[in-house]
Chains A and B, each alone.
Chain A
């Protein structure tokens, strides 16, 4: 059984715009996969479909053998705790400290204070921000903000970590640091899916690359590069 399976997924909006056209692929537990393609290719739609933020027009998506489409609305939060997501724009709360931004992921599931006190320093340590716990996002660089977002996504110890254009707004050095952290997380057994159009990073890591263009799956290659 694959961890994630997209079966003939198509997504067409009411306006008639088709963003995904008969896309099929699978990802196994512990893989590090790049989803690449130009802007508007459909990469973000794949992520939205996986966390059930949107529904496909046709096809099915399986997560650990269970159809995501069949998950009732009240169980969607549980799915999102198993699939952590980090975004290009970090989605951090400016009025909260680094520590509080991470805590929010645990507070929303009514975790005990003791539990939060233990988990938050651990995940901040994993992303190398232990000494920034009391900083506010405005006091951090882009790379550091992205690491806070990763720490928050890790708070639930997800099975899968999705990085949606996570290096899109940061400089190459900071991007390398983020990639390093993602690789570390992957080495601990968490599946990492990274959507990007950063050719440099994809070519440097030579991991599995799924290429999407105009909503269609063009290639799916182990040890691939951005272009081939």
Chain B
């Protein structure tokens, strides 16, 4: 172990600029990876919340009174595809309208409950059923108009997909750059200590004696960079938790109905970053050793 620290100290003293740039590039890589994973989870969560909010509003004709609408409500509640059905009467609609437009007295003067339609707000258990239900509702007797926010959800999905692709490409690019940085940093050390290493091999140093300090160096840089990015991620997780943007927690898209506390998630993410850091450092230094130490 002292030999490892000796090698590290030697490198840190001799290659200050390289050390800083190595930390920066690798730090940015892990930060990007962390941000990318966070974006995926946050957008999955936002999508889940949007989907939960997505509802169909069925507006009824004026002549289709409450006595006819309530039986329809009763029938809809029996449908296995439907989660909840909420009746909004003409009076309730006026109250909501007034609440929304309370700063527009002129507009409110001309509005009465008779102008606004009564409606049913329907939430589907599965967002995929929304379109089919909408078509069915349109064909029902007394229906004036059916609205649902299909566009918002599908547009959000499209934006998320684009973000995933760009994020993924960025992360891969920075991983390649970081991998090269690990290799070139070790090349510098190996070149500057070339004669010493050659002598070590000639006097019978074991492979591990020569190789290990370089592997430790590569892993050390990667882990410190990953740890720095992890700290940022934990701070972010704590902030999300404090602001309480997502009351249920963060949703993992691949586990339906599962929500995780943002702080716990940031700790898991930190572990992922540290594991990636270890692998990047380990494989990068092994590649450098193979190439420049001819092992």
The stretch of A58-66, A105-113, A122-130 in contact with B is A105-113
Contact at B204–A81, with CB atoms within 8 Å?
A: yes
Known contacts A73-B207, A108-B209, A110-B209, A80 near B199 by CB under 8 Å: no
Assembly CA distance A74 to B209 (angstroms): 11
Residue-wise, chain A 86-126 has the 8 Å CB interface mask toward B (1 for contact) of 00000101000000000011001110000000000000000
Q: Within the complex, what minimum Cβ distance (angstroms) separates A83 from chain B?
A: 9
Q: Within the complex, what minimum Cβ distance (angstroms) separates B212 from chain A?
A: 12
Scan residues 202-235 of chain B and give those whose CB is less than 8 A from a CB of chain A.
202-207, 209-210
The residue on A at minimum CB distance from B208 is A74
Contact at B204–A74, with CB atoms within 8 Å?
A: no
B195 at the interface (CB under 8 A from A): yes
Q: Within the complex, what minimum Cβ distance (angstroms) separates A3 from chain B?
A: 18
Contact at B200–A108, with CB atoms within 8 Å?
A: yes
Contact at B195–A91, with CB atoms within 8 Å?
A: yes
Interface size class, chain B:
10 to 19
B198 at the interface (CB under 8 A from A): yes
Contact at A109–B204, with CB atoms within 8 Å?
A: yes
B196 at the interface (CB under 8 A from A): yes
The residue on B at minimum CB distance from A91 is B199
Residue in B198, B204, B206, B210 whose beta carbon sits within 8 Å of that of A91 in the complex? B198
Q: Within the complex, what minimum Cβ distance (angstroms) separates A152 from chain B?
A: 6
Contact at A93–B202, with CB atoms within 8 Å?
A: no
Contact at A80–B200, with CB atoms within 8 Å?
A: no
Q: Within the complex, what minimum Cβ distance (angstroms) separates B231 from chain A?
A: 36
Residue-wise, chain A 145-173 has the 8 Å CB interface mask toward B (1 for contact) of 00000001101100000000000000000
- Which B residues touch A93, using CB under 8 A? 195-196, 199
Contact at A105–B204, with CB atoms within 8 Å?
A: yes
Contact at B200–A78, with CB atoms within 8 Å?
A: no
- Which A residues touch B200, using CB under 8 A? 104, 108
Scan residues 128-180 of chain B and give those whose CB is less than 8 A from a CB of chain A.
none
A85 at the interface (CB under 8 A from B): yes
Contact at A104–B202, with CB atoms within 8 Å?
A: no
Number of A positions contacting B (CB below 8 A): 21
A38 at the interface (CB under 8 A from B): no
- Which B residues touch A77, using CB under 8 A? 201, 204-207
Q: Within the complex, what minimum Cβ distance (angstroms) separates B263 from chain A?
A: 44
Contact at B203–A104, with CB atoms within 8 Å?
A: yes
Contact at B195–A108, with CB atoms within 8 Å?
A: no
Q: Within the complex, what minimum Cβ distance (angstroms) separates B203 from chain A?
A: 4
Contact at B196–A85, with CB atoms within 8 Å?
A: no
The residue on B at minimum CB distance from A78 is B204
Assembly CA distance A84 to B204 (angstroms): 9
- Which B residues touch A51, using CB under 8 A? 202
- Which B residues touch A84, using CB under 8 A? 203
- Which B residues touch A108, using CB under 8 A? 200, 203-206, 209-210
Name 10 extra pairs, CB < 8 A, besides A51-B202, A104-B203, A108-B210: A73-B207, A77-B204, A79-B204, A81-B204, A104-B199, A108-B200, A109-B205, A152-B203, A153-B203, A156-B204
Shortest 8 CB-CB distances between A and B: which pairs? Answer: A108-B205, A81-B204, A105-B203, A80-B204, A77-B204, A77-B206, A108-B200, A108-B209
- Show 10 A/B contacts (Cβ-Cβ < 8 Å), sorted by A: A73-B207, A74-B206, A77-B206, A78-B204, A81-B203, A108-B205, A109-B206, A110-B209, A152-B203, A155-B203
